Chains A and B, each alone.
Chain A
Amino acid sequence: MGDYKVLGSRVPRTDVFDKVTGRALYTADLVVPGMIYGYFVRSPYAHARIKKIDASKALKVPGVVTVITQDNLSRDFALVIEEEVHAAQQIRGLLAQDKVRYHGEKVALVGAETLEAAKEAAGLMEVEYEPLPAVTDPREAVKEGAPLIWEDRKPVAAPDGSLLYNVVDEDHESQGDVEKGFAESDLIFENEYLVHRVHQTYIEPQAAIAAVDETGKITIWSSSQGHFVIRSNIARSLGIPLSRIRSVGMTIGGGFGGKFGGVADIYAVLLALFTKRPARIVYTREEDLLDARPAPGLYVRIKTGVKRDGTIVARKAFALWNVGVGGGALWATGAFARLYKIPHVQWDAYEVATNTPPMGAYRAPGYPQVLFAGETQLNQIAAELRMDPVELRRKNLRDEPGFRDTLEAVVEKAGWFGREKKDWEGWGIALGHWRNASSPAACFVSLHEDGTAKVFTGLMDLTGTETAVAQIVAETLGLAYENVTIVRGDTDSAPFSPPSGGSTVTFSVGNAAARAAEDLRQQMVRLAAQELNVSEDQVVLADRKAFVKDDPEKGLSYAELAQASLRRPTGPLVGRGSFGGDPSDTNIFVQAVKVAVDPQTGKTRLLRCIQGLDVGRIINRTQCEGQAEGGALQSASWALMEEMQYDEQGRMINPNLADYRIPTASDVPEMETVLTEFPSRNGPYGAKGIGEPPITAALAAVASAIGDATGYWASEAPVTPERLALALAARQPVRAE
């Protein structure tokens, strides 16, 4: 692995200077001449019938240009959200019409000359509601008599024959014979787990600006994880041909799966179409927490049968995904069984509608929830069997490249078998995994007269993927990293690129870029052979020079080569690469944590956080570590503090970052990361996508460490100080009080 010049290094990110100096342009920084401001009228109720919408007072506010309600819209407008991470589609009306189904749902859209006028008008909209009972807990929503979110839905039968209400989709999978497996087991464990809905909490709220020119061509600038997917969403939702839409991806302040469109972009386009004026919609943080695309919640019951020696014989899950008024969660359910050799597996999963916002993707969609349950239960089983949780996993882990080695690397780094703890301290370990999405992608690479290269692509850089692609191109061409520039095109100027989600970019765009660079390299070899009057096999490309293998003094710099290409009939040097989406391999993620619990207040402090990730091949070491650390922390944050809270009426009570908490630097210990490299069969230089796996394991690791510290095994995430203190108080008098 050691022969690479650019791969594996810690080069600074391509975007670092623009971001640090504040020069990077985010959507809200754009000012388009003549632009109007859009602001939504939102439902104050979680569930209500709309009796009447009257815009007459709002329209009289000076500066108001238009008010859009569903009644103004053609019946053909359906809101289609295309999320390629899920391969799922959600179809809804653009604005509420007869009924609102969650707190903050869009009821009308005001466009005005100023944001202040738009807000004032929104406040003067008269909407008459008839409130209905609401339900936000999937366990309640499936019961007979629960408020029905979609009234035409019939209940479905559960495996035990009971009826489940508000189910919008279901999935039943089975391998082996799970009942036979339980019969063969020595011990059977059945536990239930609950994960509340959580929000991606990207630093930049949703934002979009749209303009329509005289020919009807639409330009949309947005904060999105992929401008190509924004283009197709808009085309399908509004019935506009793709060629009439130019989608521009602006610098993005985080997405984590929540920015595949449908939240602000389509509405900005609608406003522009209605008013023939450029239109801007920028969410407030409160709007974002009320009405974006947060992760689904999960209630799951897992039954596991084991032999006395810890061999897992059978596992079965019954899952209720809280998808709000959306869908697309089912496919993650099987993640609890993927890593282990289990002869008999079965799951029955349901998507349950509740009076909460539509679900979206959130980093490794569904995996953190499912693996919280699956991995916490394994640790409970290990404790019952008086077996080390690492031993239990060694015994059952599948023999796939990287699985065992990455586990052992973390065991060693953590000093697991020599681990020490004081009173009220505990250790937890858990495994997670992901197989990166693989998507069609294309790009061009050109060599310029100064010997530098430019990469033309449509990738949206969320996490440093531009840097990774630049490193891949530099490595392939024999250039320094600094000599490669990435040019991000819009949907009119760049070849097709997938949205940045599912850890797909370094793998897929990286492959396209490697192929384009290889194509260019071959052109360079041919040209150099002609220029140097040698055979092609005599040409070596390295360190920005083409030289003769047997006579290294004889050669051309890349600049001279590029200049020569302009005098040749073959013309300028441009490589082209396309990748069709060959599959990747699974990467394992291993999380160990040490915590300290204050048994009186229930506060949990992270003392150590050790994570191991199989990255396939290290492209940029700093960024690999950054992904591992960021994901681990995000997952630990789900474990300890993140929760969208709803009151009895279904209203969200913490739609702000003071009360919807994510950790600050003060809550985080030194992060310790080990990287392993087990190449993916189709990855560029063997690289695997690494964005998702790091979030999949810390929920269970932290909950298990709390279990180790207190003997209390949390079944509900987050394990807030209150939940833990009250659980400990209910169980026994607290020691040392």
Chain B
Amino acid sequence: MDAFDYRAPKDLSETLEERAHWGEKGRLLAGGTDLILFMERGRLRPDVVIEVPRTEPFTELTRTNGMVRIGSRVTMSQLEHSPLIREHLPVLSQSAGEVGSVQIRNLATIGGNICTASPAGDTLPALLVLDAELIVEKKGSKRKIALDDFFVGPGQTVLDPDEVLTTVEIPLKPPSFSSQFYKLAVRRYMDIAIVNVALAVQTNGDGAVESARIALGSVAPRPIRAREAEERLVGSVPDATLIDEVARLAQKASSPITDQRGSAEYRWLMVYRLTKRLLTDLLLNSTGPVPR
């Protein structure tokens, strides 16, 4: 690893100062479970590493005004075990619990998972189906970005070099909202997804779908939503035929590649099968989470 300077700002305003000062030369460190590896392998060579402080707003984990607010330094373990997240956003808790190992989850943060912008980031499909929004600040200004507008490509986001992700905001869900997440990997833990699928639907009293979200990981240059598939579902009372059609549309939305973790052919097949399995489970069987 190359030599670098380390900065430890005490609060948000100092963090924004450091960020503004170093710009492209600086990288933000939260859990470091990606950054340190990238630096060791020479993939990133920052002159300065700025550690995000363990203070508000970065550590916030609250429910206010119909919104769950999650600070960017909240760890995967916190998301996995927090009663608030488990009760209101179980799909996020579940996906956070699939990241790496216990040791990694104790360090890795939601902000890190988002800003690393890996197509395979485990919480990203879950956050997409939850309509997460990101609060991004820089010296003197603040903006809000829908998560789906945040990712550009593998490791690339719309975040400017002087900006800091402070908070993830997720609107609370009505009781009719239900969701599912499945990570396909070879090992039970400590593995990178071959395919990730997250689903969320809201149905009305007649069983018709009012809203649907389908998000896929590891099958495109960034985590994606299968919008055509979502739209096909809305307004209908689902049956096996419709679900099959929707799963095909989800497959169409993906553009998998072949790499060391899986072939395009396998991923393509898995998007279809897993979307179908999860939708069937969610809309027709409701037997609870799909076991891995």
**Contact with B187, one of A653, A667, A726, A737 (Cβ below 8 angstroms):** A667
How long is the Cα–Cα vector from A726 to B264 in the complex, in angstroms? 12
Query: Which residues from B are CB-within-8-Å of A720?
Result: 186
Q: Tell me, rounded to whole Å, the shortest Cβ–Cβ distance linking A47 to chain B.
A: 20
Query: Which residues from A are CB-within-8-Å of B269?
Result: 725-726, 729
Quick check: is A601 within 8 A (CB to CB) of the other chain? Answer: yes
Q: Tell me, rounded to whole Å, the shortest Cβ–Cβ distance linking B254 to chain A.
A: 16
Contact between chains at B187 and A663 (CB < 8 Å):
yes
Contact between chains at B187 and A725 (CB < 8 Å):
no
Contact between chains at B192 and A659 (CB < 8 Å):
yes
Quick check: is A126 within 8 A (CB to CB) of the other chain? Answer: no
Contact between chains at B262 and A658 (CB < 8 Å):
no
How long is the Cα–Cα vector from A663 to B260 in the complex, in angstroms? 17
How long is the Cα–Cα vector from A197 to B266 in the complex, in angstroms? 22
Question: For window 700-737 of chain A, which residues contact chain B by CB distance below 8 Å?
Answer: 720-722, 725-726, 729, 737
How long is the Cα–Cα vector from A729 to B187 in the complex, in angstroms? 22
- Chain B interface residue count, CB cutoff 8 Å, equals 27
Contact between chains at B187 and A664 (CB < 8 Å):
yes
Contact between chains at A664 and B189 (CB < 8 Å):
yes
Instruction: Encode contact with A along B1-44: 1 for CB under 8 Å, 0 otherwise.
Output: 11100000000000000000000000000000000000000000
Question: For window 659-716 of chain A, which residues contact chain B by CB distance below 8 Å?
Answer: 659, 661, 663-664, 666-667
Q: Tell me, rounded to whole Å, the shortest Cβ–Cβ distance linking B31 to chain A.
A: 16
Question: For window 163-202 of chain B, which residues contact chain A by CB distance below 8 Å?
Answer: 184, 186-192, 194
Contact between chains at B260 and A601 (CB < 8 Å):
no
Quick check: is B139 within 8 A (CB to CB) of the other chain? Answer: no
Quick check: is B87 within 8 A (CB to CB) of the other chain? Answer: no
Query: Which residues from A are CB-within-8-Å of B149?
Result: none
Instruction: Given A601-B270, A601-B273, A726-B265, check contact A653 B260 (CB 8 Å).
Output: yes
Instruction: Given A116-B3, A601-B273, A737-B273, check contact A722 B188 (CB 8 Å).
Output: no
Contact between chains at A641 and B273 (CB < 8 Å):
no
Quick check: is A380 within 8 A (CB to CB) of the other chain? Answer: no
Contact between chains at B263 and A722 (CB < 8 Å):
yes
How long is the Cα–Cα vector from A663 to B101 in the complex, in angstroms? 13
Instruction: Give A657's nearest chain B residue, CB to CB.
Output: B190
Contact between chains at A653 and B266 (CB < 8 Å):
no
Query: Which residues from B are CB-within-8-Å of A721?
Result: 184, 186, 194
Query: Which residues from B are CB-within-8-Å of A600?
Result: 273-274, 277
Quick check: is A654 within 8 A (CB to CB) of the other chain? Answer: yes
Q: Tell me, rounded to whole Å, the shortest Cβ–Cβ distance linking B275 to chain A.
A: 11
Quick check: is B259 within 8 A (CB to CB) of the other chain? Answer: yes
Quick check: is B261 within 8 A (CB to CB) of the other chain? Answer: yes
Instruction: Given A726-B269, A737-B273, check contact A659 B187 (CB 8 Å).
Output: no
Quick check: is A90 within 8 A (CB to CB) of the other chain? Answer: no
Q: Tell me, rounded to whole Å, the shortest Cβ–Cβ distance linking B204 to chain A.
A: 29
Query: Which residues from A are CB-within-8-Å of B184?
Result: 601, 603, 721
**Contact with B191, one of A116, A653, A661, A726 (Cβ below 8 angstroms):** A661
Instruction: Encode contact with B along A629-654: 1 for CB under 8 Å, 0 otherwise.
Output: 00000000000110001000000011
Question: For window 249-292 of chain B, which residues contact chain A by CB distance below 8 Å?
Answer: 259-263, 265-266, 269-270, 273-274, 276-277, 292
Instruction: Encode contact with A along B199-241: 1 for CB under 8 Å, 0 otherwise.
Output: 0000000000000000000000000000000000000000000
Instruction: Give B267's nearest chain A residue, CB to CB.
Output: A722
Contact between chains at B192 and A653 (CB < 8 Å):
no
Q: Tell me, rounded to whole Å, the shortest Cβ–Cβ distance linking B252 to chain A.
A: 19
How long is the Cα–Cα vector from A116 to B4 in the complex, in angstroms? 12
**Contact with B188, one of A667, A729, A737 (Cβ below 8 angstroms):** A667
Query: Which residues from B are CB-within-8-Å of A666?
Result: 187-189
Q: Interface size for chain A: under 10, 10 to 19, 20 to 34, or 35 or more residues?
A: 20 to 34
How long is the Cα–Cα vector from A664 to B191 in the complex, in angstroms? 10
Query: Which residues from B are CB-within-8-Å of A659?
Result: 192, 260-261
Query: Which residues from A are CB-within-8-Å of B2?
Result: 116
Query: Which residues from B are CB-within-8-Å of A654?
Result: 260
How long is the Cα–Cα vector from A726 to B267 in the complex, in angstroms? 11
Instruction: Give A654's nearest chain B residue, CB to CB.
Output: B260
Question: For window 160-202 of chain A, which residues contact chain B by CB distance below 8 Å?
Answer: none
Contact between chains at B270 and A661 (CB < 8 Å):
no
How long is the Cα–Cα vector from A600 to B189 in the complex, in angstroms? 20
Q: Tell me, rounded to whole Å, the shortest Cβ–Cβ distance linking B180 to chain A.
A: 15
Q: Tell me, rounded to whole Å, the shortest Cβ–Cβ distance linking A587 to chain B.
A: 31
Query: Which residues from A are CB-within-8-Å of B292?
Result: 603
Query: Which residues from A are CB-within-8-Å of B188?
Result: 664, 666-667
How long is the Cα–Cα vector from A282 to B51 in the complex, in angstroms? 30
How long is the Cα–Cα vector from A517 to B2 in the complex, in angstroms? 55
How long is the Cα–Cα vector from A725 to B101 in the complex, in angstroms? 26
How long is the Cα–Cα vector from A667 to B185 in the complex, in angstroms? 12
Contact between chains at B191 and A658 (CB < 8 Å):
yes
Instruction: Give B262's nearest chain A residue, CB to CB.
Output: A722
Question: For window 96-111 of chain B, which residues contact chain A by CB distance below 8 Å?
Answer: 101
Query: Which residues from B are CB-within-8-Å of A729?
Result: 269
**Contact with B266, one of A640, A663, A722 (Cβ below 8 angstroms):** A722
Contact between chains at A661 and B187 (CB < 8 Å):
yes
Query: Which residues from A are CB-within-8-Å of B270?
Result: 601, 725
Contact between chains at A658 and B192 (CB < 8 Å):
yes
Query: Which residues from A are CB-within-8-Å of B101?
Result: 664
Query: Which residues from B are CB-within-8-Å of A116?
Result: 1-3
Q: Tell me, rounded to whole Å, the shortest Cβ–Cβ distance linking A13 to chain B.
A: 25
How long is the Cα–Cα vector from A418 to B265 in the complex, in angstroms? 40
Query: Which residues from A are CB-within-8-Å of B1?
Result: 116
Query: Which residues from A are CB-within-8-Å of B3?
Result: 116
Q: Tell me, rounded to whole Å, the shortest Cβ–Cβ distance linking B241 to chain A.
A: 14
Instruction: Given A116-B2, A653-B260, A726-B266, check contact A664 B190 (CB 8 Å).
Output: yes
Contact between chains at A645 and B187 (CB < 8 Å):
no
Instruction: Give B101's nearest chain A residue, CB to CB.
Output: A664
Instruction: Given A664-B101, A726-B265, check contact A601 B189 (CB 8 Å).
Output: no
Instruction: Encode contact with A along B144-168: 1 for CB under 8 Å, 0 otherwise.
Output: 0000000000000000000000000
Instruction: Encode contact with B along A416-443: 1 for CB under 8 Å, 0 otherwise.
Output: 0000000000000000000000000000
Query: Which residues from B are CB-within-8-Å of A640?
Result: 186
Question: For window 593-640 of chain A, which residues contact chain B by CB distance below 8 Å?
Answer: 600-601, 603, 640
How long is the Cα–Cα vector from A667 to B186 in the complex, in angstroms? 10
How long is the Cα–Cα vector from A666 to B261 in the complex, in angstroms? 20
User: 18 pairs across A/B with beta carbons < 8 Å?
Assistant: A116-B2, A600-B274, A601-B273, A603-B186, A603-B292, A653-B259, A653-B260, A654-B260, A658-B190, A658-B191, A658-B192, A659-B261, A661-B191, A664-B187, A666-B187, A720-B186, A722-B266, A726-B269
Known: A721-B186, A726-B265, A726-B269; 18 extra A-B contacts, CB below 8 A, are A600-B273, A600-B274, A600-B277, A601-B273, A640-B186, A641-B187, A653-B259, A658-B190, A658-B191, A659-B261, A661-B186, A666-B187, A720-B186, A722-B262, A722-B263, A725-B270, A729-B269, A737-B276
List 7 A-B pairs, minimum CB-CB distance, nearest first: A666-B188, A653-B260, A722-B266, A654-B260, A600-B273, A659-B260, A666-B189
